[in-house]
Amino acid sequence: MPALAHIAEPRRTTRRRSLARRTADAVGHAVTEVLDNDEIASRPGLMQKLDARVKLATILLFAVAASFAHSLWVLLGFVALASGLAAASRLSVVSFSRKVWASAGFFALLLSLPAATAWITPGEVLVAFGPLSITKPGLYIAVRLVARVAAGAGIGLLVVWTTRWTDLLHALTALHVPDLVVATLAMTQKQIVTLLRTVENTHLARESRMLTAGSAAENRGWVTERMAFVARKSMKTADDVYDAMLARGYAGAMPSLVRLRTTTRDWAWLVASTLTCAALLGADKVVFSR
């Protein structure tokens, strides 16, 4: 009887998800994050209540201040300030930090790695590896560069997350950014969402029509073909959208129904941001100067 029970028991097998399925899930997650921007921008947080033009000025202010800072501790202070503003804006600090370090921090690390070697920055060797040995001053320079990039990227991501895309485009127009740049950004954002949704549906359609996961070579070949298809579709869609805009009277400027208003809160924020940057730069010169 135990043997028969063992035979009758169904075998539990786990099927590994195919490349198409994993790609579809990743694309769907990316689309969800893009579409969630309006939900995040409508939260009653600190940054959400500010005028879009003031937030763009904040990006410029913090980016300039971070570029003049030399101390690692001051740069980490800028990073901590961005995380604090994210918390005050009712964002997930963990998700915010992960996106900043996984994107800007990772690429900044790749760019700064040569500066950490003895070939570029001689000094006390920490990790011996011939001419590519990691030196103490080189490591300090690399970490400082990564912190500077992360600080600027954190403020930029915070502004984009807490601002509706239409408000951001209107703020760029109000700050006299060329109409061609604003129109390109507007079309790019809409087409990216559309193409991501197309890629997701294509992968899910293939997954639903396959009985097996397929070999790795077949999956790579199919993904490569779909990449070429999406590239052709994007160029065709761009031409069609531009022709439709011309047919509807497009003359180079992007009209908007958004009315931006600067309040006392915005001016107070701008003054507080200026004083904060000045205090951090003052500490960089006085306290942490060498």
Q: What is the DSSP string of 200-240?
A: HHHHHHHHHT-SS---HHHHHHHHHHHHHHHHHHHHHHHHH
This prediction's pTM: 0.69
- Going through the chain in order, the beta strands assigned E by DSSP cover 125-127, 134-135
Digit-coded pLDDT (tens) for 241-259: 778 878 877 776 666 666 7
Digit-coded pLDDT (tens) for 139-194: 888 888 888 888 888 888 888 888 888 888 888 888 888 877 887 777 777 777 77
Structural element, H or E, at residue 180: helix 179-208
Report residue 30 as tokens: 């990316």
Digit-coded pLDDT (tens) for 6-24: 444 444 434 455 666 666 6
Q: How far is CA 108 from the centre of its chain?
A: 14
Residue 4 has a pLDDT of 42
The residue whose two tokens read 């921090």 is 105
Residue 7 has a pLDDT of 41
Nearest to residue 91, comparing CAs of 137, 29, 160? 160
